[in-house]
């Protein structure tokens, strides 16, 4: 009978507790699938005494996650503490130095330190796995590193922050303001301790940077992600985008162009009828495009106890089976250091303007667009009862530089009453 795989778990939040529960409830299934028993040996968390609704009496409790990571009687260190540095990073370093495999859900740590940690894991001949770090229960790391390993990946896209998708879909479906839904999301415990990680697009940007590294064989480059959050999205934009057949999503897109590695995480318009456009509430979706396979769309829960535990356990089972895989799908030393594209690929844009209702106002706007080389595809002026005329435009494909030039020209006309809103329309 093979020896059991012995785990040490640091972090007893929702997911840590989920792992303890799954080990208890699925013990036979896990052993059967892994070909050996999987046992929790020791745990670590900030409070020893807090009631978490699970029985921890069978495990040794370590106050210090680093001591846990270095124990002689564990094979795998499961890091569910979170945070890009601090105790999580120190304990993961200690575990790798001690020759332990590491399973983590920590996207922030990997987005910043992924390259050095992957190198360290390879030097120690151990696994560093992070299925739970990207899109929760969706097995996207496995899909990219295994199922699609034979493909040249041309583009990766995804809605990978459930909280933002929840906020945007509730705003659209119920016509309520950003601030109101934000408050509800906070009351429901959806938001991270620092809400800006969610609504500022940072959490989703971390995930995109990890997917890019695997997809394109590049070093993780989070600082190269063009980031914009959803805080400035108004109910007006949501409703008017819908009128034009679009929905607004916090969408990540990564691709390599002639200008370098393009990584964007920003609010985008997508066709309402597309799979991404129809993604509701807190669900996540990742779209992978490979030269041989074509397009693969994965949809599922991106957070929560069950989905994230499911992802953690898939890594643990792989390690129990003796599967070996490079952290980012190829040796860390072979990951390329490609420069971030300074200019995004051309796209159509949605523009919302509020104009003075005066003769010639619209002519000045179309002149400014023409002078910048931006062509109008569709346009609509809404009925209004005051002196402010709301105008919506969809441009033909243009570069961001041309669009910025046009926006400057529009501002110089003096006929706008508000800051124009410009949102990219993504080809999905």
Q: Annotated active-site positions, please?
A: 207
| Nearest distance in Å: CB 302, ligand HSE | 4
CB nearer ligand HSE, residue 94 or residue 138: 138
Using CB under 6 A as the binding rule, whether residue 169 contacts ligand HSE is answered as no
Contacts of 86 (CB under 8 A, 6+ apart): none
199 in Cβ contact with 171 (< 8 Å): no
Options 3-11, 157-165, 289-297, 380-388: segment touching ligand HSE (CB under 6 A): 157-165
The residues that bridge with 287 in the sheet, in sequence order, are 157, 297
CB nearer ligand HSE, residue 158 or residue 224: 158
289 in Cβ contact with 215 (< 8 Å): no
Q: Which residue of this chain has its Cβ atom nearest to ligand HSE in the complex? A: 163
The residues that bridge with 264 in the sheet, in sequence order, are 226, 253
| Tokens coding 291 | 């030269």
Instruction: Choose, by CB under 6 A, the member of 11, 158, 162, 267 that binds ligand HSE.
Output: 162
| Nearest distance in Å: CB 197, ligand HSE | 7
Residues in the interface with ligand HSE (CB under 6 A) total 8
Options 161-169, 261-269, 316-324, 399-407: segment touching ligand HSE (CB under 6 A): 161-169
The residues that bridge with 285 in the sheet, in sequence order, are 159, 299
Would you list the DSSP string of 194-217?
A: STHHHHTSHHHHHHHHHHHHHHHT
**Sign of torsion, CA 255 258 260 266?**
negative
Ramachandran angles phi, psi of 179, nearest 5°:
-60, -40
CB nearer ligand HSE, residue 161 or residue 169: 161
Instruction: Choose, by CB under 6 A, the member of 44, 145, 161, 263 that binds ligand HSE.
Output: 161
The residues that bridge with 395 in the sheet, in sequence order, are 376
| Nearest distance in Å: CB 95, ligand HSE | 22
* Site map 71..110 versus ligand HSE, x via CB under 6 A: ----------------------------------------
CB nearer ligand HSE, residue 162 or residue 205: 162
Helix/strand/coil (H, E, C) string of 278-303?
Answer: CCCCCEEEEEEEECCCEEEEEEEECC
3-class DSSP state for residue 231? coil
Options 28-36, 158-166, 221-229, 335-343: segment touching ligand HSE (CB under 6 A): 158-166
| Nearest distance in Å: CB 161, ligand HSE | 4
The residues that bridge with 381 in the sheet, in sequence order, are 391
Using CB under 6 A as the binding rule, whether residue 217 contacts ligand HSE is answered as no
Options 156-164, 246-254, 362-370, 377-385: segment touching ligand HSE (CB under 6 A): 156-164
Instruction: Choose, by CB under 6 A, the member of 39, 127, 131, 203 that binds ligand HSE.
Output: 203
| Tokens coding 108 | 């922030």
* Site map 33..72 versus ligand HSE, x via CB under 6 A: ----------------------------------------
**Could you give the count of Cα atoms lying within 13 Å of 293 in the half-sphere of its Cβ?**
19
CB nearer ligand HSE, residue 89 or residue 107: 107
| Tokens coding 22 | 């799954």
* Site map 289..328 versus ligand HSE, x via CB under 6 A: -------------xx-------------------------
- In order of 66, 277, 283, 390, the CA distances from 380 in angstroms are 61, 22, 32, 9
Ramachandran angles phi, psi of 134, nearest 5°:
-125, 115
Instruction: Choose, by CB under 6 A, the member of 198, 318, 402, 426 that binds ligand HSE.
Output: 198
Using CB under 6 A as the binding rule, whether residue 159 contacts ligand HSE is answered as no
Radius of gyration over every alpha carbon of the chain, rounded to an integer in angstroms? 24
| Tokens coding 190 | 């959806």
Sites of contact with ligand HSE (CB under 6 A): 161-163, 192, 198, 203, 302-303
């Amino acid at each position: 009978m093979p020896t059991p795989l012995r785990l040490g778990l640091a972090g007893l939040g929702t997911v840590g507790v989920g792992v303890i529960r799954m080990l208890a409830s699925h013990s036979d299934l896990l052993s059967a699938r892994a070909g050996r028993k999987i046992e929790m040996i020791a745990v670590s968390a900030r409070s020893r005494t807090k009631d978490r609704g699970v029985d921890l009496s069978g495990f040794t409790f370590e106050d210090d996650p680093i001591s846990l990571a270095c124990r002689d009687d564990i094979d795998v260190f499961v890091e569910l503490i979170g945070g890009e540095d601090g105790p999580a990073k120190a304990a993961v370093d200690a575990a790798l130095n001690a020759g332990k495999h590491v399973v983590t859900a920590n996207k922030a740590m990997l987005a910043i330190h992924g390259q050095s940690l992957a190198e360290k894991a390879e030097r120690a001949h151990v696994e560093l796995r992070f299925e739970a770090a990207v899109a929760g229960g969706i097995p996207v790391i496995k899909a990219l590193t295994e199922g699609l390993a034979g493909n040249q990946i041309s583009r990766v896209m995804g809605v990978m922050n459930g909280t933002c998708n929840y906020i945007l879909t509730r705003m659209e479906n119920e016509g309520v303001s950003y601030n109101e839904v934000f408050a509800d999301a906070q009351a429901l415990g959806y938001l991270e301790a620092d809400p800006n990680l969610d609504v500022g697009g940072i959490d989703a940007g971390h995930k995109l940077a990890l997917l890019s590294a695997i997809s394109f064989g590049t070093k993780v480059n989070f600082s190269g992600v063009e980031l914009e959050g959803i805080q400035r999205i108004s109910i007006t934009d949501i409703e008017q985008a819908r009128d034009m057949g679009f929905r607004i999503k916090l969408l990540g897109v990564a691709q390599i162009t002639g200008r370098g590695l393009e990584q964007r995480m920003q609010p985008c318009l997508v066709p309402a009828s597309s799979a991404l456009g129809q993604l509701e509430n807190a669900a996540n979706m990742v779209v992978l495009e490979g030269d041989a396979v074509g397009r693969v769309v994965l949809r599922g829960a991106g957070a929560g106890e069950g989905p994230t535990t499911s992802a953690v356990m898939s890594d643990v089972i792989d390690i129990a089976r003796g599967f070996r895989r490079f952290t980012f799908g190829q040796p860390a030393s072979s990951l390329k250091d490609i420069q971030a594209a300074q200019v995004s690929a051309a796209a159509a844009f949605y523009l919302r303007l509020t104009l003075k209702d005066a003769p010639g106002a619209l002519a000045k706007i179309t002149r400014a667009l023409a002078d910048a080389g931006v062509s109008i595809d569709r346009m609509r002026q809404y009925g209004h009862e005051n002196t402010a005329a709301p105008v919506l435009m969809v441009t033909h494909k243009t570069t961001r530089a041309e669009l910025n030039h046009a926006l400057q020209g529009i501002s110089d006309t003096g006929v706008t009453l508000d800051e124009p809103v410009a949102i990219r329309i993504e080809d999905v």
